[in-house]
Amino acid sequence: MTRSVSVVGGGVIGLSIAWRAAQHGWAVRLYDPTPGSGASWVAGGMLAPLSEGWPGEEKALEFGAESLQRWPDFGAELERIAGVTLFTSDDSLTVALDAADAADLQTIADWVARQGHELRMLNRAQIRELEPSLGRGIRLGLQAPTELAVDNRLLMRALRTAAVDAEVLLIEQAVTDLDELTTDQIVLAAGSNSAQLWPDLPVRPVKGEILRLRARPGVTPVPRRTIRGSVHGRPSYLVPRADGIVVGATQYESGHDTQVTVAGVRDLIADAEVLMPAIGEYELYEAKAGLRPMSPDNLPIIGRVSDRVLLATGHGRNGILTAPLTADATVAILEGAALVEAESATAERFSLAKV
pLDDT tens track for 217-274:
999 999 999 999 999 889 999 999 999 999 999 999 988 999 999 999 999 999 999 9
Backbone angles phi, psi at 253, to 5 degrees: -90, 95
* Cβ pair 186, 8 in contact under 8 A: yes
Contacts of 195 (CB under 8 A, 6+ apart): 201, 202, 203, 204
* Cβ-based neighbour number of residue 52 at 10 Å: 23
Of the candidates 108, 310, 272, the one whose C-alpha atom is nearest the C-alpha of residue 194 is 310
The yes-or-no verdict on residue 160 having pLDDT over 60 is yes
22 pLDDT exceeds 60?
Answer: yes
pLDDT averaged over every residue in the chain: 96
161-170 average pLDDT score: 98
Q: For residue 310, give the nearest of 193, 187, 199 by alpha carbon.
A: 187
For residues 255, 260, 264 and 265, what is the CA-based torsion angle, rounded to 10 degrees?
170
Helices (H), 212-351: 262-275, 319-334
| Interatomic CA distance for residues 317 and 293, integer angstroms | 8
pTM value surpassing 0.85: yes
Closest residue by Cα to residue 345 from 139, 203, 206: 203
Rounded to the nearest 5°, which phi and psi values hold at 87? Answer: -80, 130
The pLDDT of residue 355 is 55
Angle made by CA atoms 314, 93, 344, in degrees to the nearest 5: 30
Spatial neighbors of 257 by CB under 8 A, at least 6 apart, are 207, 289
Chain mean position to CA 37: 14
- What pLDDT is stored for residue 351 in this prediction? 85
Residue 55 has pLDDT above 90, yes or no: yes
Buried-exposed string 290-320: b where 16+ CB fall within 10 A, e elsewhere: bbbbbbebebbbbbbbeebbbbbbbbbbbbb
Q: Residue 307 has what pLDDT?
A: 95
Q: What is the mean pLDDT of residues 329-349?
A: 96
The CATH number assigned to the domain with range 92-145+205-294 reads: 3.30.9.10
Domain positions in the chain: 1-88+147-201+296-355, 92-145+205-294
DSSP string, 164-220: HHTT-EEE-S--S-GGG--SSEEEE--GGGGGGTSTT---EEEEEEEEEEE--TTPP
Preceding peptide of 109 cis, ω within 30°: no
Cβ contacts of 212 within 8 Å, gap of 6 or more? 241, 244, 245, 246, 247, 284, 285, 286, 287, 288
DSSP string across 102-166: HHHHHHHHHHHHHTT---EEE-HHHHHHH-TTS-TT--EEEEETT-EEE-HHHHHHHHHHHHHHT
What would the mean pLDDT of 137-147 be, rounded to a whole number?
96
Nearest to 235 by CA among 78, 86, 41, 101: 101
For residues 317-342, average pLDDT:
97
- Superfamily classification of domain 1-88+147-201+296-355: FAD/NAD(P)-binding domain (3.50.50.60)
Query: What integer is the mean pLDDT of 120-142?
Result: 96
Collapsed DSSP state (helix, strand, coil) of residue 281: helix
Task: Please state, in angstroms and rounded to a whole number, the distance separating the CA atoms of residues 168 and 52.
Answer: 35
Mean of pLDDT values over 55-80: 97
C-alpha–C-alpha distance, residues 108 and 51, integer Å: 7
